Amino acid sequence: MHIIKVDAIDSTNSFLRGLHREKKVESPVCVRAIAQEAGKGQMGTVWQSNPGENLTCSVFMPVQEISITDQFFVSIVTSLAVCDVLNDLMVTRLSIKWPNDILSDRLKVCGILIENIVKNGRLEGVIVGIGLNVNQLKFDSLPQAGSLKQILGKNLDIDEVLHGLLNKLKERFSQLKISRFKSLKYEYETMLFRKNKPSTFNDAKGDAFVGIIQSITNEGKLQVLLEDDVVSNFDLKEIKLLY
């Protein structure tokens, strides 16, 4: 896979989207930034990262056989690819906090942001933004954040982590076929953070309620068992899982 390295950039996702707009990228491409000044997180948040200490990158992956309605399976294979590479690095107690934060125990070590590239109503590719905390030790005002160095007790070579990640992404994206959807969904659900445990959530108004995560729908909505024994489906804007 072609890798573009840049010293400082606002956002690797924005850079890669601009590159695709200019050159019509059709094969996998990775952009890795040493310093990212306005990294994007979910729901418009900013990803914080000390320059040179973490892996901040975006990868364009062509997608041809997936319909818009099945786009959450891109998030599934991306989350599983990150877990694959962390497993290889001997990171323990991995889980996926819906929809695609990667945790070790209760520490968030990786955030993922996926942007679709759509043409004529069809998905033709995705830009996968990944922020993986590798060697950073201090996270200001982020008590749930953690890094691989904190967990493993040693520095890691970020380029080696990147190459491992890109290999796992290629492997997982090759599984992105309708015939594999059921097994991919099952694998993702087995790793869901707080699955089958009473948990506290906030709804869109900020009101707290208790529920138990059951599974996800094919569209990526979180299925939660509520106190009245009714399973309700929630999308990302409707619910927030509290630690």
In this structure, are 122 and 227 located in the same domain? no
Of all residues in the chain, what percent carry a pLDDT higher than 70?
94
In this structure, are 148 and 130 located in the same domain? yes
Residue 38 confidence (pLDDT): 56
Find the CATH number of the domain harbouring 206. Answer: 2.30.30.100
Find the CATH number of the domain harbouring 149. Answer: 3.30.930.10
Q: CA of 218: how far to CAs of 68, 183, 221, 222, 235, in Å?
A: 12, 12, 7, 10, 12
- Beta-carbon neighbour count of residue 241 at 10 Å? 19
In this structure, are 94 and 179 located in the same domain? yes
pLDDT in tens, 92-140: 999 999 999 999 999 999 999 999 999 888 899 999 999 999 999 998 8
- Which among 190, 207, 230 is the end of a domain? 190
In this structure, are 56 and 26 located in the same domain? yes
Tokens read off for 21: 């707009």
In this structure, are 138 and 173 located in the same domain? yes
Strand partners, 131: 56, 111
Residues of the domain holding 208: 198-241
Element containing residue 199 per DSSP (H, E) = strand 198-203
In this structure, are 182 and 130 located in the same domain? yes
Residue 41 confidence (pLDDT): 54
In this structure, are 135 and 218 located in the same domain? no
Mean pLDDT value across the chain = 92
Q: Is 235 helix (H, G, I), strand (E, B) or coil?
A: coil
Tokens read off for 190: 């087995």
Q: Is 221 helix (H, G, I), strand (E, B) or coil?
A: coil
3-state secondary structure 105-163: CCEEEEEEEEEEEEECCEEEEEEEEEEECCCCCCCCCCCCECCHHHHHCCCCCHHHHHH
40 pLDDT band, cuts 50/70/90, is low
Region of 16 please: left (phi>0), alpha (psi -120 to 50) or beta. Answer: alpha
- Which among 172, 190, 208 is the end of a domain? 190
Q: In this structure, are residues 184 and 73 in contact, taking their beta carbons and an 8 Å threshold?
A: yes
DSSP string, 12-76: HHHHHHHHHHHH---S-EEEEEEEESSEE-GGG-EE---TTTSEEEEEEEE--S--GGGTHHHHH
- Which among 151, 166, 190 is the end of a domain? 190
In this structure, are 34 and 71 located in the same domain? yes
pTM score, two decimals?
0.92
Q: How many domains does the chain have?
A: 2
In this structure, are 116 and 182 located in the same domain? yes
In this structure, are 186 and 204 located in the same domain? no
Residue 42 confidence (pLDDT): 53
Residue 9 confidence (pLDDT): 86
Of all residues in the chain, what percent carry a pLDDT higher than 90?
77
pLDDT in tens, 175-199: 999 999 999 999 999 999 999 999 9
- Beta-carbon neighbour count of residue 162 at 10 Å? 21
In this structure, are 136 and 217 located in the same domain? no
52 pLDDT band, cuts 50/70/90, is confident
Instruction: Write b or e for each residue in 194-223: b if 16 or more Cβ atoms lie within 10 A of its Cβ, otherwise e.
Output: bbeeebebeeeeeeeeebbbbbbeeebbbb
- Helical segments of 142-233, H only: 148-152, 158-173, 181-190
Tokens read off for 163: 């190459």
Q: In this structure, are residues 165 and 84 in contact, taking their beta carbons and an 8 Å threshold?
A: no
Q: What are phi and psi of 241, to 5 degrees?
A: -80, 125
On the question of pLDDT at 241 being above 90, the answer is yes
In this structure, are 123 and 229 located in the same domain? no
Tokens read off for 171: 């492997």
